[in-house]
Amino acid sequence: MTAAEAPADLREYRSAYQEPADFDAFWRETLDAADAHPLDLVLTPVATGLRTIEVFDAAFRGFGGHLVKGWLRVPRHRDGPLPAVVQFHGYASGRGHPLDDLLWPSAGYAHLLMDTRGQGGAYAGGGGTPDPVGAGPAYPGFMTRGIAGKETYYYRRVYTDAVRAVRAVRDAGLADPARVGVTGASQGGGIALAVAGLVPGLRALHVQAPLMCDIRHAVRTSNDGPYQEISGYLAAHRTSVADVFTTLAYFDGIAFARRATAPAWFSTGLLDQVCPPSTAFGAFHAYTGPKEIRAWEFNGHDAGGSLDLETALAAFHPALTAVP
């Protein structure tokens, strides 16, 4: 089901989100502060037994100069710099095992999978990146950490790490800096969308069931998953509603979609109770670059799963392999 075939209410839906007047200034100052720290990229080969793919333990400096980990995987047999894909993982997951996530390097790309700081205790074999920044009272999970202000909110650090991850893959010497795309599902999709709005010169974007889009609407309509952390927090902090959504306005995918220009492929499951399909369509309609969306009629938060990844592979090939 394409955008044209989606229900009329989704084709016509537009988010009511209003971005803060100082949105661009906030992110410019945030990224400038990060750039004051050296990237300090270190790639350490990992013995895996794979014959066609090399794996490197990647480490670089993200927000605040904090150490961020990831896996950089590249085809073992290559001739010159490769097109690259930077991937961000789902909520509470981690970078996992070196043998995981072999799709993109198997397709011929340099592939950096970034660890999301503080996560990895629940899925995908764990993560290796701490979050050394403290925060005030929070509901269990990550969605409300530091939510009292935009300067302290958790995803300020995560989005900054992700921008630095793109710089890391561009500086690694294994990839063509002019041929980089970003991808992710759920939380990873929300991070990828933010990166697309913050990093110039990206060549492609693929997001499945993106989190952190049309957030206030999502908190009201989601029946499962991370958004319930925000509603749970507000149930206890009843006088903080305005302040919480003021903070979240600086991290909403709608604002980043308005600033992104890379060709983009979105997907959503019409039965998704975690990231309601209207939130994906809200980001899609706000997106300023060339775009397509696939709405999977009987799928939930998997948003088409591996079948949708076939779309990404087919789309990324011409977008990333063409020489600028």
- What count of other Cβ atoms lies within 10 Å of the Cβ of residue 171? 13
Evaluate whether residue 289 is within a structural domain: yes
In the set 101, 301, 302, 308, the catalytic residue is 301
Q: Where are the alpha helices (DSSP H) in the chain?
A: 8-12, 23-35, 103-106, 154-171, 187-198, 215-221, 227-236, 241-248, 253-257, 277-286, 305-321
Could you list the residue range(s) of the whole structural domain that residue 18 is in? 8-319
Single-letter code of the amino acid located at 245 = F
User: Is 301 assigned a catalytic role?
Assistant: yes
> Is the distance from CB of 62 to CB of 68 less than 8 angstroms?
yes
Evaluate whether residue 121 is within a structural domain: yes
User: 151: phi > 0 → left, psi -120 to 50 → alpha, else beta; which?
Assistant: alpha
Q: Which two tokens stand for residue 235?
A: 């149930």
Evaluate whether residue 3 is within a structural domain: no
The CA-based angle 102-85-78, given to 5 degrees, is 70
Q: Which two tokens stand for residue 12?
A: 């016509």
In the set 272, 278, 285, 308, the catalytic residue is 272
The distance of Cα 57 from the centroid of its chain, to the nearest Å, equals 20
> Is the distance from CB of 288 to CB of 261 less than 8 angstroms?
yes
In terms of pTM, does the model score above 0.95? yes
Evaluate whether residue 300 is within a structural domain: yes
Evaluate whether residue 82 is within a structural domain: yes
Closest to 216 in 3D by CA, of 25, 23, 19: 19
User: Is 240 assigned a catalytic role?
Assistant: no
pLDDT, tens only, 69-88: 999 999 999 999 999 999 99
Let me know if 179 is exposed, middle or buried by CB neighbors in 10 A (0-12, 13-18, 19+). buried
Residues recorded for the chain: 324
Give Cβ neighbours of residue 217 (< 8 Å, ≥ 6 apart). Answer: 15, 16, 17, 276, 278, 279, 282
Evaluate whether residue 1 is within a structural domain: no
Write down the pLDDT at residue 270: 96
User: Is 231 assigned a catalytic role?
Assistant: no
pLDDT, tens only, 20-39: 999 999 999 999 999 999 99
Query: Which CATH number is 203's domain given?
Result: 3.40.50.1820
Evaluate whether residue 324 is within a structural domain: no
pLDDT, tens only, 265-322: 999 999 999 999 999 999 999 999 999 999 999 999 999 999 999 999 999 999 998 7
Closest to 187 in 3D by CA, of 224, 151, 158, 161: 158
Number of domains observed in the structure of the chain: 1
Evaluate whether residue 182 is within a structural domain: yes
In the set 101, 111, 131, 186, the catalytic residue is 186
Provide the β-strand partners of residue 184: 88, 207
Let me know if 100 is exposed, middle or buried by CB neighbors in 10 A (0-12, 13-18, 19+). middle
Write down the pLDDT at residue 55: 98
